[in-house]
Structure formats: structure tokens, C-alpha cells
Amino acid sequence: MDLEKGFAIGDNIALKIGGTRKYYVVTNRDTIFYLNEPDAIAANTTDSYSELTELNPPHGQLYQIYKIWIDGNVELYLKQPAATNKWGTQRAPAGGLLNDRTSGVKGGMYTNLFFTIDNPPSVQLVNTQEISITPKIWYIGWRYAIEEAPSTPSTFTEITISGLAQ
């Protein structure tokens, strides 16, 4: 799949959460361009993990984030899905690390993160500098409206949503 193009309307997907797989059809889509502006992070400080509730889609939607841009010299640790439910990453040290050098606003690395209802990501910000930093973090991707398929489609793309500890 071309991450910047995402799924098309009419595409079939299989969502696998834990041991359960369900089939869906993409019925609509829209872009996500979410700007998170957390409070200033004090010098040499590690914030605790916090859930990004803005990236918790409602029932019948699926979010895909393909880029995260960071403006500010901080490290962003990501756990996906959040460590708050049965399939969370509570036994995993971290799901991944991005900073302004690997994922800055002038390019950045591609990610491929999917979020369903009750499975938003959790992030932790770390400031290793000698000054306070107020970062800006952009989450860029797709918001899909999905409906359960009436039967198993002949072709589909499988998406597994689970913690690293599984």
C-alpha cells in the first residue's frame, strides 16, 4: 500500500485485534492533520506516558497515521495501542522512538500506525536538553469510515492491532 495514498473507498480490510479477525469495507475517507501542542517540558525531564485521546476514533472509524512530524528537540516514545486495555503494551518498554532529526517537519520518516476505538496511542516526551522546550507534533494520515463486510471478501489487506508483548 502507498502510505500517502492510503486505502480507497471500497477497499476491503481485515482488522485483527488479539485473536479476533473481522472484515470491513472502507465506505469513506478523510485526511487527518492533527497538531498536538503539549505544555513545555522542563530541562532534563521525562514526561509520563499519556494517551492521545484525540486519536481515539469513534465506533465505525479507523485511523491511519503515516507521518509524525516533530518541531522541537525532544524524543517521542510511542506505544501502540495504549497500555490501558487487554491488548495494550504494558509489558513493553516502548513501541518506538522518534525525534526531530528522524522525523522533523522538513521530511521525516514514514510510520504505519492504525488506531481503532479504545486503542489510541500513548506517547512519552523526553527533553534531554538544558533548557525548557515546548514542542509541536503533527500526526498526518487518514480517517476511514468502515462497515463490517457481510461475508469474507476474496481480497483484503490485513491490519493487526496488538501490543508488542503479545
Q: CATH number of the domain that 127 lies in?
A: 2.60.120
Condensed to tens digits (0 to 9), the pLDDT of residues 65-101 reads 998 898 889 999 888 754 444 444 444 445 677 777 7
Domain assignment of residue 160, yes or no: no
Instruction: Give me the domain span that covers residue 53.
Output: 29-141
Q: What is the pLDDT of residue 110?
A: 80
Higher pLDDT, 84 or 158: 158
Q: What is the pLDDT of residue 161?
A: 80
Q: Are strands 12-17 and 20-36 parallel, antiparallel or unpaired?
A: antiparallel
DSSP class of 54: G
pLDDT over 80 at 150, yes or no = yes
Q: Are strands 50-51 and 122-127 parallel, antiparallel or unpaired?
A: antiparallel
Condensed to tens digits (0 to 9), the pLDDT of residues 10-24 reads 999 999 887 889 999
Domain assignment of residue 153, yes or no: no
Contact residues for 5 (Cβ-Cβ < 8 A; gap 6+): none
